[in-house]
């Protein structure tokens, strides 16, 4: 009897787009980041917030994957071609998530 233990998690690159205040704070329109292929929404948000120093808009920003908003309790399974958008409120509106 033998056991196959594969604790590795595939990492991929996804394109991240920054909108409104996120673009202003990062000075970037888009870039690529490396993330685990499978991760929680909050883990993806935390990685983007910390990597790009967006703490000031963390509580008001939402993420969209491939042009669809994602609920904050979602487990994401991403692929290399996926696009993630960081969207803070455009004019101080309330977040839906």
Contact 30, 84 (CB under 8 A): no
In the chain, where are the structural domains located? 9-85
* φ and ψ at residue 6, rounded to 5 degrees: -125, 95
Which helix (H) or strand (E) segment is 64 a member of?
Answer: strand 62-65
- Taking only the tens of pLDDT, the chain with its 97 residues reads 444 444 567 999 999 999 999 999 999 999 999 999 999 999 999 999 999 999 999 999 999 999 999 999 999 999 999 999 999 976 544 555 4
The correct CATH number of 9-85 out of 3.90.79.10, 3.10.20.30, 3.30.750.24, 3.40.120.10 is: 3.10.20.30
């Amino acid at each position: 009897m033998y056991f196959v233990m594969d604790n590795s998690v595939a990492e991929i690159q996804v394109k991240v787009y920054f909108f409104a205040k996120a673009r202003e704070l990062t000075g970037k329109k888009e870039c690529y980041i490396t993330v685990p292929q499978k991760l929680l929404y909050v883990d993806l948000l935390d990685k983007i917030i910390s990597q790009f120093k967006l703490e000031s808009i963390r509580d008001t920003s939402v993420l969209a994957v491939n042009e669809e908003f994602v609920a904050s309790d979602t487990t994401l399974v991403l692929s290399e071609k996926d696009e993630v958008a960081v969207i803070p409120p455009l004019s101080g509106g309330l977040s839906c998530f």
